[in-house]
Structure 1
Amino acid sequence: MTDEELLIRPQSSAGTTGNAEPAGRALPANMEAEAAFLGAVLIDNRVLEELTVPLRPEHFFVPVHARVFERVLTLVDRQMVVTPVTLKPYFETDEALRDLGGTAYLARLTADGQGLLAPRELAQQIYDLALLRELVSVGRELVESALDTSVEVEPMRQIEEAEAALYRVAEGASSGNEAESFRQSSVAALQQIERALNSGGHISGKTTGLSDLNSKVGGLHDSDLIILAGRPAMGKTSLAMNIAFNCAHRYQTDLKDGIDPAKSVGSPVAFFSLEMSADQLATRILAEQSEISSELLRMGKISRDDFQRISFASQRLANLPLYIDDTPALSIAALRARARRLKRRHDIGLVVVDYLQLLQGSGRGNDNRVNEISEISRGLKTLAKELSVPVIALSQLSRAVESREDKRPQLSDLRESGSIEQDADMVWFIFREEYYHNAAKPEDPSETSSADAIAKYDTWMARHLEVMNKATVIISKQRHGSTGNVQLMFQSEFTKFGDLHPGQRSDFE
């Protein structure tokens, strides 16, 4: 049976009356529309430049039409004029075309030229019918899996897979398009390189808003899983929130300036906060933008002028494309489902998860915590690839850091580190020497103190001035480049990270 003759034969249930549906229903397709559209393209190749949908060969129902359109795209890409005559050598031995009359069929496609009256509408219909066929396929598989009541069946997993399949249909993906040609891959690579060139030679992905960090990692790359780890009080959430805000704000600014959204290094952002509430995160952003202490904001110890500054900042950021989901105890499956919806509704380009250890796995009783963390890290990497966005996942470090004299974190300090380190494309550690240095502060010497006590305090103070308001992002793993350290400014009262001036950088390595 050929693809053109495929039929859907629904199962009839017991007790069905005469009102039952016919025994077979043809898949949705319009072969005449496909022929008319191909005829329009062969008459005027410029039709392809005016399409409003991403039409691809696999969207054609008739296999011959799909092969003809694929050859047309190849020749147009080579800057050749495509007509029935230039196509003829490629289809002289095509058996399916021979059944339609051979290469003369190509000439018949252009006979009446009716497709030129509405080529965009024809392309839209071909695309829409392809999505309906894909939806039929998903629905059939969904019914078959739902009817399976064996012991091994996991309903929640089936729901997740069904939602993922529906997401692919909504995005216009085809389940039959399993591999991508090198030509398609190289075009995508060139687009990234062009974006890096246009940004001044620093960013090929989404911006972090921090110039030194962008220069080191080249921005946040699509499909990457970035682990941002650190001990409590190091500023993990603050840095993640700063990056999320900077990326969303850059996108908002670029749109106001008339820049093509596809060429912006910013994007809408989804922030999944399993630890802090949405209003607490919003307070941090307002404190940062109005430069008012977040602690004073929480306690209400602000003046009327301060409140006015906060109100202005709130109005200015009212339409910021930053979406905060503070649902507690999310499973990795639920998080992926919510991220897909945000991608579909708001076209998010960055996902932040705070933090990884608060996510839940599938809940299978025989699994231990290490296996559950492995499932979560794999799920986050799969999400990054599925949505083609960078995913930043925050992670806690083990207490082993505190027992060492050198407090700088290492890859081995990641809790349940094996799978996290393996799945991550980049691993960043946030380290603030100021935090540990303040804990070792000696007593302030008095006039009667010994010379040793005064010298000890002076030494501490000298180092304090060097590390004060500074943080270091340690790039311990990077698949796209070298590892190393990036120094940043950190204003704890505003929970704000920024770039250091060249003269402020210390000798920390």
Structure 2
Amino acid sequence: MNELTTVAETVPELAARANTGSVMEQIAPHNIEAEQQLLGAILTNNDVFDRVASIITEEHFYDPVHAKIYEVAKARIAKNLQATPVTLKAFLEEHPGLKELGGPAYLAKLAGNAIASFAAGDYAHIIYDLAIRRELMSLGKNIAAQAANVDVESEPREQIVQAEQALYKLGEAGKSDTGFQSFLKAVTDAVQMAHAAYQREGGLAGISTGLTDLDKKLGGLHPSDLLILAGRPSMGKTSLACNIAFNIAKVYKRGLRPDGREGAVNGGVVGFYSLEMSAEQLASRILSEASRIPSHKIRRGDMTEEEFRRFVSAAKDLEACPLFIDDTPALPISQLAARARRLKRTHGLDALFIDYLQLVRPATAKDSRVNEVSEITQGLKAIAKELDIPVIALSQLSRQVENRDDKRPQLSDLRESGSIEQDADVVMFVYRGEYYKEREKPPENDTERMAAWMEEMESLHGKADVIIGKQRHGPIGDVSLAFEGEFTKFSDLVQPWQQDGDGYQ
């Protein structure tokens, strides 16, 4: 009790100290000399700017006068104009901060005291590192102030999410290791990828979906790719996503990769955002597939003793399966990204599924739904590239499919199709002809039509097509799969010439 009382008394005191800002002003880390040397190097040799522009911006300078000098110099250099003490004088001589330092003569002093331009990169890194430290201190101050402000509208959990987002944003800002790379490096990376594909069973460059024919068409699921899996209701897109996610997770094996890093050498750790179904419902689908018990029996508890034992046995086998489900509804794209990063950091992450795209919220409300979906798809593509994983997002199709005689979906059927079609590396559609043919059943007394209908139903029964409508790195076309509706399971379709008791040759 005494400890709680002490903490309760300390928090407001800390918040009060943080709000004064006096501590921040006293210990805010900075290096004025490094800022002066960098600005002097730029003013004497404008080529230096190109070497530091990817590291710092004017916001990283501690001294506001130095920030203004850098900003004006940057604007002139961007226009291919000279940035020297003479050319900057006209833009800065009335600046009150510069007047306090001696006016335009200070610009000449900066250029005159610059020692060497070769150290400019080091100075830029020093300035950047100190700016990040100041941002961290400021962020800590804000967190303490918000936490001390006990308000009904201010939920602690929401504050944690906001603080985490701010830290991630700070961590991702100012990365200087991106940009142009030599063709030699690009070729080396391509050869390594091809070598890994050559050595892997099935010749896949990406993660296997567990479906042989689909893997042949896609080459597996590739890192940094955004794949869209679309379909009308009852086509089985959630079932197919669950099947692929489970297939990846159940064969997960960790080891040393060809590039020397430790990670998944088979299968992978899977994250699954289930924005429509609960985690329990999703787990029931996966258990239905694994235990070969119809999902409706599992829901009702209508199982025999032997089936229940099989169900429990399957559940035990899947306990260690690295499949992580998040069923939080209406997640904003920013939170979705933050949680994916956290999962990658804590457990690893090799593939991410989102069910489904239209249920993700944009970070900020837009003037139209098309713009909102565009922000979401761009965000999902950014996650795929940043975490270097395949992202598989499910998507709805518009009702115009139902108005056509040919119900096979196409790219134009995607809701808000412009941004989805543009940002995706692969667009796939799930189509089950059996579903539509079943609704065309003729009257019982029309024997001729009934016979033809039954023949067509028999040819379509238990079959589904995955239509690849777009693929940046490979061919488009159809992949035929077997579909068992009672277990919500997709599997390889055994063709008549392959029915020799062993499946595929």
8 Å CA contact 1:434, 1:467 repeated in 2: yes
- Aligned-partner residue type, residue 187 of structure 2: S
* Aligned residue among 477, 482, 487 for 2:480: 487
* Aligned residue among 132, 149, 168 for 1:164: 168
Deviations 1:2-43 (A, max 9, x none): xxxxxxxxxx997848x985686789xxxxxxxxxxxxxxxx
Structure 2 residue matching 1:501: 3-state secondary structure = coil
Kindly state the Cα deviation for residue 159 of structure 1 after the two structures are TM-superposed.
Answer: 6.0
Kindly state the Cα deviation for residue 176 of structure 1 after the two structures are TM-superposed.
Answer: 1.9
Structure 2 residue matching 1:342: 3-state secondary structure = helix
The 5 A counterparts of 1:320-399 are 320-364=321-365, 367-399=367-399
- Aligned-partner residue type, residue 345 of structure 1: T
Structure 1 residue matching 2:192: 3-state secondary structure = helix
Structure 2 residue matching 1:408: 3-state secondary structure = coil
* TM-score under structure 1 length normalisation: 0.66
The residue number in structure 2 matching 1:500 is: 493
Counterpart-to-counterpart distance in 1, 2:460 and 2:374 = 36
Deviations 1:117-138 (A, max 9, x none): xxxxxxxxxxxxxx99987553
User: Which 5+ residue runs of structure 1 have no aligned equivalent?
Assistant: 1-11, 28-57, 59-94, 100-130, 149-154
1:466 equivalent to 2:463? Answer no
Structure 1 residue matching 2:403: 3-state secondary structure = coil
Counterpart-to-counterpart distance in 1, 2:25 and 2:331 = 43
8 Å CA contact 2:330, 2:360 repeated in 1: yes
Counterpart-to-counterpart distance in 1, 2:371 and 2:161 = 17
- Aligned-partner residue type, residue 378 of structure 1: Q
8 Å CA contact 1:203, 1:265 repeated in 2: no
The residue number in structure 1 matching 2:132 is: 138
The 5 A counterparts of 1:239-278 are 239-252=240-253, 262=263, 264-278=265-279
Counterpart-to-counterpart distance in 2, 1:139 and 1:16 = 17
Call closer, same or farther: CA 1:210–1:261 in 2, change over 3 Å: farther
Kindly state the Cα deviation for residue 175 of structure 1 after the two structures are TM-superposed.
Answer: 1.7
The 5 A counterparts of 1:49-128 are none
- Aligned-partner residue type, residue 346 of structure 1: H
Structure 1 residue matching 2:267: 3-state secondary structure = coil
Counterpart-to-counterpart distance in 1, 2:297 and 2:28 = 72
Counterpart-to-counterpart distance in 1, 2:222 and 2:117 = 44
Kindly state the Cα deviation for residue 308 of structure 1 after the two structures are TM-superposed.
Answer: 0.6
**Percent of residue pairs bearing the same amino acid type:** 47
8 Å CA contact 1:167, 1:340 repeated in 2: no
Call closer, same or farther: CA 1:167–1:313 in 2, change over 3 Å: farther
Call closer, same or farther: CA 1:371–1:458 in 2, change over 3 Å: same
Structure 1 residue matching 2:251: 3-state secondary structure = helix
Counterpart-to-counterpart distance in 1, 2:401 and 2:206 = 32
Call closer, same or farther: CA 1:301–1:137 in 2, change over 3 Å: same
- Aligned-partner residue type, residue 400 of structure 1: Q
- Aligned-partner residue type, residue 479 of structure 2: V
The residue number in structure 2 matching 1:423 is: 423
8 Å CA contact 2:30, 2:131 repeated in 1: no
Counterpart-to-counterpart distance in 1, 2:403 and 2:240 = 25
Counterpart-to-counterpart distance in 1, 2:382 and 2:214 = 25
Counterpart-to-counterpart distance in 1, 2:423 and 2:118 = 50
- Aligned-partner residue type, residue 223 of structure 2: D
Kindly state the Cα deviation for residue 214 of structure 1 after the two structures are TM-superposed.
Answer: 0.4
Kindly state the Cα deviation for residue 167 of structure 1 after the two structures are TM-superposed.
Answer: 5.3
Structure 1 residue matching 2:393: 3-state secondary structure = strand
Structure 2 residue matching 1:429: 3-state secondary structure = strand
Aligned residues: 376
Call closer, same or farther: CA 1:355–1:22 in 2, change over 3 Å: closer
The residue number in structure 1 matching 2:298 is: 297
Call closer, same or farther: CA 1:439–1:345 in 2, change over 3 Å: same
Deviations 1:460-491 (A, max 9, x none): 11111111011000000000011100000110
- Aligned-partner residue type, residue 420 of structure 1: I
Kindly state the Cα deviation for residue 456 of structure 1 after the two structures are TM-superposed.
Answer: 1.4
1:222 equivalent to 2:216? Answer no
1:400 equivalent to 2:400? Answer yes
Kindly state the Cα deviation for residue 96 of structure 1 after the two structures are TM-superposed.
Answer: 8.1
Counterpart-to-counterpart distance in 1, 2:127 and 2:303 = 60
Call closer, same or farther: CA 1:15–1:286 in 2, change over 3 Å: closer
- Aligned-partner residue type, residue 280 of structure 1: Q
8 Å CA contact 2:19, 2:141 repeated in 1: no
8 Å CA contact 1:195, 1:263 repeated in 2: no
- What is the alpha-carbon root mean square deviation over aligned residues? 3.7
Call closer, same or farther: CA 1:13–1:442 in 2, change over 3 Å: closer
The residue number in structure 2 matching 1:85 is: none
Call closer, same or farther: CA 1:350–1:97 in 2, change over 3 Å: same
Call closer, same or farther: CA 1:143–1:187 in 2, change over 3 Å: farther
Deviations 1:328-355 (A, max 9, x none): 1101111011111011111101110000
Call closer, same or farther: CA 1:504–1:239 in 2, change over 3 Å: farther
- Aligned-partner residue type, residue 290 of structure 2: Q
Structure 2 residue matching 1:402: 3-state secondary structure = helix
User: Which 5+ residue runs of structure 2 have no aligned equivalent?
Assistant: 1-17, 33-54, 56-114, 120-124, 143-158, 499-505
Kindly state the Cα deviation for residue 261 of structure 1 after the two structures are TM-superposed.
Answer: 5.9
Greater Cα offset, 182-191 or 314-323: 182-191
1:477 equivalent to 2:478? Answer no
Kindly state the Cα deviation for residue 165 of structure 1 after the two structures are TM-superposed.
Answer: 4.2
Kindly state the Cα deviation for residue 304 of structure 1 after the two structures are TM-superposed.
Answer: 1.1
8 Å CA contact 2:29, 2:133 repeated in 1: no
The residue number in structure 2 matching 1:455 is: 448
Greater Cα offset, 261-270 or 395-404: 261-270
- Aligned-partner residue type, residue 307 of structure 2: D
The residue number in structure 1 matching 2:211 is: 210
Kindly state the Cα deviation for residue 163 of structure 1 after the two structures are TM-superposed.
Answer: 3.6
The residue number in structure 1 matching 2:85 is: none
- Aligned-partner residue type, residue 467 of structure 2: I
- Aligned-partner residue type, residue 164 of structure 1: Y
Counterpart-to-counterpart distance in 1, 2:299 and 2:484 = 17
The 5 A counterparts of 1:173-192 are 175-179=175-179, 181-182=181-182, 183-192=184-193
Kindly state the Cα deviation for residue 459 of structure 1 after the two structures are TM-superposed.
Answer: 1.1
Kindly state the Cα deviation for residue 454 of structure 1 after the two structures are TM-superposed.
Answer: 2.0
Deviations 1:225-264 (A, max 9, x none): 1010000000010001111111111214x67xxx996462
Counterpart-to-counterpart distance in 1, 2:384 and 2:280 = 27
The residue number in structure 2 matching 1:436 is: 436
